[in-house]
Structure 1
């Protein structure tokens, strides 16, 4: 099991990126959350099998149809999300 914090930049807000992330993460059996950041990025905390997190990171490079992804970065994290995968409110950075 692993936890990664993923940051996605580009045109990723206002294009259903968070909803898409929730569906995609659940498909891979991950727990965690996704939220918009005030600087225009999307932040994701994903917990689960390393291979499944890798699949999510790769999927995030494409995103939903209306998105334009410029960059995806992922770092290991020690936070442990609660059960399920949820959408959170925008956070200040």
Structure 2
């Protein structure tokens, strides 16, 4: 696990775009449930006009990694063809994990 100089786990922002049959199948709801189960994540899952779902999660690196792993496992509703992600610094502004 990455740790900052003060010994706390590193907090990051992970943005993922999920491709496949991921709209109209409960994907956002299950993504929110996974984020809540993992714990410590703030952000959202939202549909995009091109059929993808965008997932933004802010929290400890390990928690974000766990959510990304879940998105890629195939243990999701619908059919995930691929997941592309980028990492960045926390921006804040989220309370909990929302469906948009």
SS class of match (2:69): helix
Correspondence for 1:76 among 87, 91, 100: 87
5+ residue gaps, structure 1: 89-93
5+ residue gaps, structure 2: 1-10
Q: Give the direction of change, closer, same or farther, for the CA distance of 1:63–1:38 in structure 2 (3 Å limit).
A: farther
Please give the TM-score of this superposition, normalised by the length of structure 1: 0.86
Runs of 4+ with deviation above 2 angstroms: 77-81
Please give the TM-score of this superposition, normalised by the length of structure 2: 0.81
* Number of aligned residue pairs: 87
* CA RMSD, Structure 1 to Structure 2 (Å): 1.2
* 1:12 has 2:12 as partner: no
SS class of match (2:68): helix
